[in-house]
Amino acid sequence: MNKFEVAIETEIIRLKKMMNIRSVLNTVLIILGVLLVISSYATVSNGWDLLLRGETPYIGDSQLKLVSMDIPHTGSPSADAKYWATIKFDAGFKPEIRRACFSFSGDRQSCVDVEAKDVTHGHFRVPIQIPAGSKKIDCYAEYIREGKTSRTNTVSYYIILLNKPEE
């Protein structure tokens, strides 16, 4: 082999290595692209997960979605006392909330009219009476949108009682 043939052979080997590296890089880029697409589907909910749980999916700015509920109280709830339930919501519009309905430990249900003055940006408040022995309170709201009464998803609040340690 003369110098010219050796140079050509060396160049061919170098080109094969470059093509091999390029194909590896292309494969890595394709895999990253596929992972990106999969992760975007995993983080964006299309509402089917809510429907499977029996809740109403949040679609754009046309629906009201309850986010959480808080009922400040001290000690064991008293059946004759009224508590203010604060319900946080998410909506792309100013909702006209009519009623908030509560289910106490799956037994008794009670609905309370919501006054417009108690609805502020992102939450509303209503007075409720908690039956003795209630451990879980479920809440949904009814609101007016485009002239129709609609129902929100349901949020839950768990009553946790802490007993004082005995001495």
Q: Domain of 94: which CATH number?
A: 2.60.40.1930
Q: Is the pTM of this model over 0.75?
A: no
Domain co-membership, 64 together with 40: no
Residue 35 domain boundaries: 1-44
> 59-110 pLDDT, tens per residue?
555 678 899 998 876 566 666 677 888 999 988 778 899 999 998 876 778 8
Query: Is there a single domain that holds both residue 78 and residue 25?
Result: no
Residues 68 and 134 in one domain: yes
125 part of a folded domain: yes
Domain assignment of residue 6, yes or no: yes
Residue 63 makes CB contacts below 8 A (sequence gap 6+) with 56, 57, 91, 145, 150, 152
Q: What is the token pair recorded at 129?
A: 């009476």
Q: In this structure, is residue 89 part of a structural domain?
A: yes
Mean pLDDT of all residues in 10-24: 78
Mean pLDDT of 15-34: 78
- How many structural domains does the chain have? 2
Q: What is the DSSP letter of 105?
A: T
Q: Among residues 88, 110, 102, which one has the least CA distance to residue 136?
A: 102
Instruction: List, in sequence order, the alpha helices (H) in the chain.
Output: 3-43, 48-52
**How is residue 25 written in tokens?**
């890089």
